[in-house]
Amino acid sequence: MSTVTVASVDDFRERVDQLVARHPVVAGNRYTAWFAGGEASRGEVRHLTVQFSVFSHLFVEAQLRKVINAADLDTYRSGKEILLNELGVVFNADRSRAAVGTDPDLVATEGTVDGGRFRFGAAHFEWLLRFAHPIGLGFDDVGKRRHGTAPTLHFCDELLEVYGAEDASIAEGASYAVEHWAASGFWKELIAGLEAFKARECDGLPLAFWTWHDKVEDQHAAHTDDELVEAYAQSWFDEDRFLAGAARMLDGVQTFWDGLWADHEAGVQR
């Protein structure tokens, strides 16, 4: 028998939101705060690009695992929305725009992949390749495990283990944490720094990979809010495992940014 009430799910959401908001990677990410100031050198922008490319490319593996391990058809389908969009299926919210091209400045940030069209050039990884090219990074320089530092690979492995976990409560906690971290403003900080870099020394650098993701994150966070309410009502749901999944995932995210901060302090460039 279900004992779920609106009050109990609201209380739980409050606990989760506090855990996320107080986590150092959300409350105070030293790397992105510094990066937003626009002081990063070309070598530091390249280093960020390579590490970010490894995480965002390997994220596809974690997203597939999340889909495979989904506890119900709704979660399975919402996981596929993210997975297939990541791989190049354009959301079909606005068919006229989808038909125009594959550039992230043009393609929709809302809608569904159901009935959407696959375009090679709409894969998020290809958007990142277009950003990487003007700063001298080619296909062979980005996106592979071998390009990742130890902290980056730790984060990727945590995504597979926690975000893609077989235990649905852990996986849901990790999803909630990842999406609320992503909606907490780090894209805007990176965009601010990249705009300064572009104006200073890289005219024409396409920032759409970054700006498209900034636009989409608010909806992802809203989706995980709905997912939390739904998951909370299920018999398998366990509050402690959800919170543990959220905390462990945020620790993984923090390892990634702390790695970049340590590299900045050590003067690592690429």
* Closer residue to Fe ion in complex, CB, 50/231: 50
* Closer residue to Fe ion in complex, CB, 86/179: 86
Segment contacting Fe ion by CB under 5 A, of 83-91, 108-116, 133-141, 247-255? 83-91
* Closer residue to Fe ion in complex, CB, 147/264: 147
**DSSP per-residue letters across 131-143:** HHGGGT--GGGSS
How many of the chain's residues bind Fe ion (CB under 5 A)? 2
Shortest CB 60 distance to Fe ion, Å: 9
Summarize the chain as % helix, strand, coil (round to 5).
Answer: 70, 0, 25
Nearest Cα to Cα of residue 177 among 109, 240, 131, 244: 244
* Closer residue to Fe ion in complex, CB, 19/177: 177
* Closer residue to Fe ion in complex, CB, 81/172: 81
Q: Which residue is nearest to Fe ion (CB)?
A: 124
Give yes or no for a contact between 174 and 165, defined as CB atoms under 8 angstroms apart: yes
Shortest CB 234 distance to Fe ion, Å: 28
The per-residue b/e assignment along 56-83, b for 16 or more CB within 10 angstroms, e otherwise, is bbbbbebbbbbbebbbeeebeebbbbbb
Q: What mask, x for binding Fe ion by CB under 5 A, covers residues 119 to 148? A: -----x------------------------
Nearest-10 crossing angle of helices 208-232, 73-87: 170
Counting contacts by CB under 5 A, is residue 220 touching Fe ion? no
Residues binding Fe ion (CB under 5 A): 86, 124
